[in-house]
Each structure stands twice: as structure tokens, then as C-alpha cells.
Amino acid sequence: MRKQIRCGLFVVSMAISGISFNAQPTRAADGDAANGDKDAARSTVAAANFALPPGIKQKDLNDDKNIREAMGNVVSAAVKKNGFSDVVDRFVDQDRTRLNQYKEKDDDNLNQIVARLSNEWKAKYGKDFDFSNSQSATSFGDATIMTGEVENPDQLIGQWPIKQPLSISQDAKANPQDNAQAAADKQDIDKSKDKAFGGDVNLEKGREVAIARMPMMKSSPEVFCSMIKEHIGGWRFDVPNNITGQQLHDNLVKHLSMVTDHQDDWPADVNQAYSMVGHHVIEAIYGMDHMSK
């Protein structure tokens, strides 16, 4: 039986989950020593607390390639003309249902940014922007993936999708997703009916799930992607329930504009540049901001 879950605030805790990932801390690539120390401290805390929430049993699904491909596909969708609806299609059932009414909205602003990015990308790297196939695996090769299987859906209420790690550190910039998660957690959801926002949560017992941790890079914070494997369509992104279609659209415009407006900061290596764009798109769909340099 499918359980109806509400999205809410989740404070990651090894003590609660009993599962952790001992990753090496990731330092910011640029910046002075003081900022580098702060960045490393934030990264160390987040890496040490990279864990599946209670109610999910860790299990090696041997599916990292498809998870990375799903991450690449959402980036490819975000950087093509009229790609907004395709971005929404990469989300879980409940989010697709909630955002569906916005899918056909005029994409002029987003299309303009995408066109600029495409033109300037080709001028710099001598090739069209292509985040597909093997390139997606290369660009998200720095992501660390933890997979598992839902054991107790009731324990996931208020804990999925997981909270972003940026706010774990006291000196981190305020994360707007905190409010998104908390607001969604307060929604009155009747388990005997469809979820308040519509659509199925697909977190019943036995459902395969994953967390992909994207490390900090330059002024980009670490991002945790909460993903669910649907029976039709495979791996999809689960985002906070009160991120609206308008907010998602505006987030994509903002982050892709950040990339396009700062061509001087683009890496010489095209694979690093793909990683930069990919990080911005993932930040956008989770409602996150860049940290100050």
C-alpha cells in the first residue's frame, strides 16, 4: 500500500540513522585561505553527515550509471529551447502533478538565456552544448551516490526529500530551502486521500531511493539530490513541495544567467565547464543560492 508522505525539514544525523559516509572533505577551488578554511569546515561536516534517513535501509543497487544519467538529463533539458516542461518531467510523480499547470507557460525569458549560453559556449569551446550520454557521467563523476530501499514509510514523514547540508554549519549563508521544507511540513495531509498537492509519493515499502551528493566547487555549495526510482521512467528528482512552477522557472533563469554573465570565469577545460553548469542547474531545482565568494 502506498503511504502518503509530506515533505519536511530533515536534520541529518548519524546517531539517528546509523549510516554515514566517510568522504574526504572537498575544498573550494579558489578563494583566500580564510574562506577556504570555512568552506572545508562546511564540507567536512556535510560529508560526515551524508546519510540515509530513518526508514530507508542502505542497499547497493549497482545503478550509479543510471542515476548520473538522470542528473545529466535534467541539465540537458534545462539548457535547450522550450526545455522547461522536460525539466518538470524529470521530477517525481507528485512534483510533476503539482507543477504541471505551469509547464506550458511562455518560456521566452528562459529561452533567451539558453540561446545566449549556447552561442557563447560554442564560441569558446568550438562545439555545441551537449550534456548527454557519456558526457553526463563525466560531468557528474565527482558526485557521491548512496542508495537504499524504503523499509518504513511512516518514518520518512517530514524527512524526505532531505535537507540541504549548507545550513548545517553555523557560519553558512542562510539557505532558502529551510523555509521551503518547513512550510511544506506544515501542510495538513490526510493519509487516507491523495496527497494535498496531488500525485503519488511513491515511497512505499520496497521502493528504491538514492541520495547524490554534489561536492562544493568555487562559490557553489554542496547539494544533496533526493531521488526516487519510479517503475516507469526510472530515476527522478524529489524536490520540496512548496517550490512552485514560477519559482522553478525563475531559479533556472537566475542560475543560467549567472553562468552566462560570467564568461571570464568559465574553465578552460570543457568537462569542468559542464560540471559548473550542471551544479547551477541542480542548485536551481532545489531552490538554492550561490554562496558569496
**Do the domain assignments include residue 39?**
yes
The pLDDT value recorded for residue 108 is 86
**Do the domain assignments include residue 292?**
no
**Do the domain assignments include residue 1?**
no
**Do the domain assignments include residue 36?**
yes
Residue among 142, 166, 152, 130 nearest 214 (CA):
142
The pLDDT value recorded for residue 182 is 34
How far does CA 188 lie from the centroid of its chain? 25
Query: Cβ–Cβ contacts within 10 Å for residue 133, how many?
Result: 11
Question: pLDDT tens per residue, the chain (293 residues)?
Answer: 443 443 333 333 333 333 333 333 333 344 444 444 544 444 444 455 678 999 999 999 999 999 999 999 999 999 999 999 999 999 999 999 889 878 767 678 999 999 999 999 999 999 988 887 556 667 788 889 999 999 999 999 888 999 887 543 334 444 445 544 433 343 333 343 344 445 677 899 999 999 999 888 777 788 999 999 999 889 999 999 889 999 999 999 999 999 999 998 899 999 889 989 999 999 999 998 765 44
pTM of the predicted structure, to 2 decimals: 0.76
Strand partners, 234: 230
**Do the domain assignments include residue 174?**
yes
Helix, strand, or coil (residue 97) = helix
On whether the CB atoms of residues 291 and 220 are closer than 8 A, the answer is: yes
What DSSP character marks residue 25? P
What is the amino acid identity at position 203? Answer: L
On whether the CB atoms of residues 67 and 235 are closer than 8 A, the answer is: yes
For the chain, the farthest-separated pair of C-alpha atoms sits apart, in whole angstroms, at 56
The pLDDT value recorded for residue 285 is 95
The pLDDT value recorded for residue 290 is 67
The pLDDT value recorded for residue 198 is 53
On whether the CB atoms of residues 162 and 211 are closer than 8 A, the answer is: yes
- Domain total in the chain: 1
**Do the domain assignments include residue 291?**
no
What DSSP character marks residue 2? P
The pLDDT value recorded for residue 218 is 72
User: What is the CA angle 35-43-27, rounded to 5?
Assistant: 55
The pLDDT value recorded for residue 113 is 95
How far apart, in whole angstroms, are the C-alpha atoms of residue 174 and residue 135?
33
On whether the CB atoms of residues 203 and 228 are closer than 8 A, the answer is: yes
**Do the domain assignments include residue 7?**
no
Q: Grid coordinates representing 230?
A: 519510479
Parent domain of 41: 14-285
The pLDDT value recorded for residue 291 is 58
The pLDDT value recorded for residue 131 is 81
**Do the domain assignments include residue 147?**
yes
Q: Grid coordinates representing 173?
A: 549563508
| Cα distances (angstroms) measured from residue 125 to each of 112, 142, 194, 255, 266 | 20, 22, 48, 20, 10
